[in-house]
Structure 1
Amino acid sequence: MGASGRVTLNDVAAASGVSRATVSFVLNDDPRQSISGPTRDRVRQAARELGYVPHGVARALREGASRVVVLNIDGGLEGNYSRSYVRGLDAELAAHGHVLLVRHGHQSPEAARQVLDVIAPRAVLRFGEAYVTGHDLEDRGGGWRDGLAAHAALQIRHLAAQGHTEVALALPETETPVVAARLRFAGHAARDADLSVPGHFVAPRERPACTRTVRTFLADAPGVTAIAGYNDDVALRVLAALRDLGREVPRDMAVIGFDDTEYGSLVSPSLTTVHIDAEAHGRLEARLALGMDSRGLTPAPARIVLRESA
């Protein structure tokens, strides 16, 4: 233990039988280093048993406003994009000596104020706000360059290119401003592609309820030949419902997801979806929150992951 009484990297290295550099690589999860799984487990276990606190975290707790960034994620916005975004945001903040605190779900103004009074953060971010508006990419038109509007349009344009002229949107049960934005952006994209404005329905989580909903919707909209899911989770519910209804995908109905979760490739038919470089968006947001130059952090363009369903 160091002279200050704080557990150091040297202590963790001695306890796990590896070098100080190896401990640093493991605890910082450096992707450029090839370190075996057993060694990583041994280092992490030693760190836990010794009560090791990374220097940046300890410093953030001491300095308060200069080192802590708070991210609020409203209920219903969790998903692959949010997980990747948080990973990038956290990594970029950590690279500049800051700590990320993530708060999930709806918070009352009183609870939020208590947190801010105790922590005095460097910045408070609201997840989804920058993505919807595009501000994180200096795109003021609702994210038409590499934000939600552009990605919603990518989903609709893919279906149009496959020859579909009437599409529908499958939405989650949770009502959020992002859902309203998706509907608006999909409508713009459909009109630009000379399609009818998409109809929409909410896809319940429970399979029987979702099957009933899809049956009713398609009975009222017989011209629909493709369904765009709000995210992959919703699209997978629709796939299950169509299977229950005896509809063959993509012959009878095409389905496309959004957010590229790991589950889309595991189902049959596998799910076509939209992949977004959310981690780079998180890193950009970190730079902007810290007032730093964001040059050199250009996200890869969103793309269609072409599989079997559409």
Structure 2
Amino acid sequence: MAEGRRATLKDVAAASGVSRATVSFVLNDTPNQTISAATREKVLRVVRELGYKPHGIARALREGSSRIVVLFIESGLEGNYSRSYLRGLDQELSAHGYVLVVRHGPTAPEAAEQVLDAISPRAVLRFGEVYRTGHALEDLSGGWRDGLAAHTALQIGYLAEQGHTEVALALPDEAPLREIRLEFSQLAAGRLGLPALRCLVIPRSRPAAVDAVRAFREQEPAVTAIAAHDDDVALRAVTALTDLGLRVPGDCAVIGFDDNEYGALFTPALTTIHIDAEAHGRVAARELLGLDAAGLSSAPAQVLIRQTA
């Protein structure tokens, strides 16, 4: 690769000894693909070695002729962060004469190709792309300064400030970014001098959630607080604890993440982390268009202190 030239998907494929399709499947974590763990690790290692990065915080898949930008958001990534991010991205693109089209749901290669063939967009972006390239901590969306790592640390840090030392991380059955949230949470706990977080998977069904929380309480009676993957999981935890006759936060505190606004309507009202990502969306738009993003900064994330923690 020529010195100074930005690494491309083709470069990664050549250095890994695999096809570009395989590299794409690995970076996109595409389901139903039989890619061995060794091949996956090799591709990710080459990505890191070559410094392969998408444009900005997402991947520009194609330079189309239209003034349309398409953003894919996987199921499970919708929330306050994505809403405010979309607002900033849309407003910034609109200010420069571009139209944003958002597609929610599965992002299989076939679905992306259908969009490309139908409207030939200027670019196709994938929400959360940075986590599939090995550069999560270098970006606004992942770093310790103003990204997911910092916001996760804020959540765990709040519980530590309240005197909780035995903390559980409540996770959904499956969700995009679940593993990176677990990694960041454990790193945050370590930085605070807390023991490793216990992990609790809380299913969607109310009876199953109650069973899971009951079993966890029996196995980990010392845990006094639960940090949830998001507000949906946090509300499942609060409901299950209440169904078990336990007091929240008296017997166990619960804190959500990403403020879906429903938590404020519950009793007890959910304490959570609120993130303003509008500036992140504006930065993404400017980087995509090759414009200077200096001077854009988001409001700091904050703990919305209510009644559960």
Query: How do 1:147-226 and structure 2 match up within 5 A?
Result: 147-176=147-176, 178-226=177-225
3-state SS of paired residue (2:265): coil
Q: 1:136 to 1:149 in 2, by over 3 A?
A: closer
**Alpha-carbon distance, 1:278 to partner:** 1.7
Superposed CA deviations along residues 153-212 of structure 1, whole A, max 9, x for unmatched, are 110011111111111111122232x10000000000101111111111221222111111
**Alpha-carbon distance, 1:296 to partner:** 2.7
3-state SS of paired residue (1:286): helix
RMSD value, Cα:
1.9
More relative contact order, 1 or 2 (CA 8 Å, 6+ apart): 2
Q: Is 2:79–2:259's contact at 8 Å kept on the other side of the alignment? A: no
Query: How do 1:221-260 and structure 2 match up within 5 A?
Result: 221-260=220-259
**Alpha-carbon distance, 1:130 to partner:** 4.1
Q: State the partner residue of 1:89.
A: 89
Identity rate of aligned residues, in percent?
Answer: 62
**What is the alpha-carbon distance in structure 1 between the residues aligned to residue 172 and residue 214 of structure 2?**
17
> TM-score, normalised to structure 1's length?
0.74
**Alpha-carbon distance, 1:64 to partner:** 5.7
**What is the alpha-carbon distance in structure 2 between the residues aligned to residue 273 and residue 111 of structure 1?**
34
**Alpha-carbon distance, 1:215 to partner:** 0.7
**Higher Rg:** 1
Q: State the partner residue of 1:302.
A: 301
More moved, 64-73 vs 143-152: 64-73
**What is the alpha-carbon distance in structure 1 between the residues aligned to residue 110 and residue 250 of structure 2?**
53
More moved, 276-285 vs 252-261: 276-285
Q: Is 1:136–1:281's contact at 8 Å kept on the other side of the alignment? A: no
Q: State the partner residue of 2:121.
A: 121
**What is the alpha-carbon distance in structure 1 between the residues aligned to residue 80 and residue 232 of structure 2?**
10
**What is the alpha-carbon distance in structure 1 between the residues aligned to residue 139 and residue 88 of structure 2?**
13
**Alpha-carbon distance, 1:135 to partner:** 5.1
Q: Is 2:64–2:123's contact at 8 Å kept on the other side of the alignment? A: no
**Alpha-carbon distance, 1:136 to partner:** 4.8
Q: Is 1:136–1:288's contact at 8 Å kept on the other side of the alignment? A: no
3-state SS of paired residue (2:199): strand
Q: State the partner residue of 1:110.
A: 110
Query: How do 1:254-273 and structure 2 match up within 5 A?
Result: 254-273=253-272
Q: State the partner residue of 1:275.
A: 274
Q: Is 1:227–1:256's contact at 8 Å kept on the other side of the alignment? A: yes
**What is the alpha-carbon distance in structure 2 between the residues aligned to residue 136 and residue 92 of structure 1?**
19
**Alpha-carbon distance, 1:78 to partner:** 1.7
**Alpha-carbon distance, 1:108 to partner:** 2.6
Q: State the partner residue of 1:70.
A: 70
Q: What one-letter code is carried by the residue in structure 2 that aligns with 1:276?
A: I
**Alpha-carbon distance, 1:66 to partner:** 4.5
Superposed CA deviations along residues 193-234 of structure 1, whole A, max 9, x for unmatched, are 111111112212221111111111111111110001111111
Q: State the partner residue of 1:79.
A: 79
**What is the alpha-carbon distance in structure 2 between the residues aligned to residue 165 and residue 136 of structure 1?**
30
**What is the alpha-carbon distance in structure 2 between the residues aligned to residue 270 and residue 279 of structure 1?**
25
Q: Is 1:228–1:255's contact at 8 Å kept on the other side of the alignment? A: yes
Q: Is 1:136–1:285's contact at 8 Å kept on the other side of the alignment? A: no
1:133 aligns to 2:136 (yes or no): yes
> TM-score, normalised to structure 2's length?
0.74
**What is the alpha-carbon distance in structure 2 between the residues aligned to residue 229 and residue 173 of structure 1?**
12
3-state SS of paired residue (1:93): helix
Superposed CA deviations along residues 217-255 of structure 1, whole A, max 9, x for unmatched, are 111111110001111111111111111011111111010
Q: Is 1:134–1:146's contact at 8 Å kept on the other side of the alignment? A: no
